[in-house]
Structure 1
Amino acid sequence: MTRAQRLLMRGAHLVWRVTRGMTLGVRGAAIDGQNRVCLIRHTYVDGWHLPGGGVEPGETALDALTREFQEEAEVLIDPGAARLHGVYFNTLASRRDHVVLYVARTFTVRAAKVPDREIAEAGFFPLDALPPETTRATRARLAEITRGLPPATHW
C-alpha cells in the first residue's frame, strides 16, 4: 500500500471513528466446486483481496456480505449457507476495526464483473495457485479455511 493510500484509509477511519465509534467490516471466501476462490483487485489499494467491505448502520453482517459480493464481483451469495469462520481485530486499519469472515460455498455468478471506480478486476483462482499479488492476510485466511486451522485473532 502506498503512502497516499495509507493516508486515505486513515482519513476514512478517522471520519468513521467520529461517526461510528467502532468499525466493523465483513469479508467472504466464496469457494466453488473446483476449489477456486473469488478474489478482487481494488483500484485504490494494491493486491488481491477477498470481497467485502463495511457493515452499514442497520445492516447485518450477512446483509453486508451479500451486498458486497454483488457489488464487487457480480456474485449472489446464499446467506443461509454462508458459515462464519472468524472475527478478527484489524489493527492495520485502526485500533477500533474488526473484520467478520464468512465462507460461502453456495452462490451464483451473475455475470463477469465489469471494472468500475472501485473494482479493477474480479475472478476465481485455484486455491493452490493464487495470484502473486494476493495479500498476506488473504493468504493467511485461506490457509486457515483450507487446512482446518482455528482463526487467528488479528487480520
Structure 2
Amino acid sequence: MRPTPADPEAWNAYLAEGNATQARKRVSADVLLRDEQGRVLLVKPTYKPGWDLPGGMAEANEAPDDAARRELKEELGLDVTLRGLLVVDWVPPHGPWDDQLAFIFDGGVLAPDQVAVLRPHDGELAEARLFLPDEAVDVLRERLRNRFRVAIATCTGSSPSYLHDGGTIV
C-alpha cells in the first residue's frame, strides 16, 4: 500500500525515494550586459577556451537568477538588477557532460562608471571586454552563438525564447 499525506513520516520517505531517482539537470545562468553604445560584455575564462557571456553554473538548489547575480559579483564585482529572462536553452548531452538548462538573463545597460572599472575579480577570468554584437558572434564558441543571437533579438522586445541545442522552438 502506497503511503499518503495522512502519515507524514511515511509520505516524506516515499517522496524522498522518488526524488533520489529522478533526473538532475545542470544549470547555467548567464547575463547579457550592454553599454550605452550597444556593445555587449564578454568574458574570457581561464578554465576553457574562447569567450563567454558572464555568469556560470548554479550550485545545488540555487535558483538560476540567484546564480547569475552571484557569479557576476564573484567574478566581476558587479551588482546588477536582472530585468528578465531572455532565453532558456536545453542543451543535450555532449562530451563528458549530461544535459543542461542554459539561462540567459537581461542585465540591462551598464553605467559608464561601471564600465570604467570592469575587470576580473577572481582567477576564473582572464579578461572582460565589450564587443559589438556582430564581433561577439565571431568570438563566441559555436554552441553559444545562436543562443546569444536569440538573446540579442529578445532584448528588443520579444518574449523569452525556448531553444533546443540553440535551435528555436516555437
1:32 alignment partner AA: D
Alignment correspondent of 1:112: 118
Partners of 2:58 and 2:67 within 8 A in 1 = yes
Partners of 1:73 and 1:123 within 8 A in 2 = no
Q: How much does 1:134 deviate?
A: 2.0
Q: How much does 1:46 deviate?
A: 0.7
Tell me: CA distance 1:137–1:29, structure 2 relative to 1, closer, same or farther (3 Å). farther
* 2:77 counterpart of 1:66: no
**Alignment partners' CA distance in 2, 1:32 and 1:147:** 16
2:132 alignment partner AA: P
Partners of 2:87 and 2:104 within 8 A in 1 = yes
Aligned-residue sequence identity (percent) comes to 24
SS of equivalent residue, structure 1 residue 140: helix
* 2:95 counterpart of 1:84: no
Q: How much does 1:151 deviate?
A: 4.2
Alignment correspondent of 1:133: 139
**Alignment partners' CA distance in 1, 2:142 and 2:109:** 25
List structure 1 runs of 4+ shifted beyond 6 angstroms.
none
* 2:146 counterpart of 1:143: no
2:84 alignment partner AA: R
Alignment correspondent of 1:13: none
Unaligned runs of 5+ in 2: 1-22
Tell me: CA distance 1:43–1:63, structure 2 relative to 1, closer, same or farther (3 Å). same
Q: How much does 1:66 deviate?
A: 0.7
* 2:163 counterpart of 1:152: yes
Tell me: CA distance 1:131–1:64, structure 2 relative to 1, closer, same or farther (3 Å). same
Tell me: CA distance 1:106–1:62, structure 2 relative to 1, closer, same or farther (3 Å). farther
Q: How much does 1:115 deviate?
A: 6.4
Structure with the greater alpha carbon radius of gyration: 2
Tell me: CA distance 1:46–1:65, structure 2 relative to 1, closer, same or farther (3 Å). same
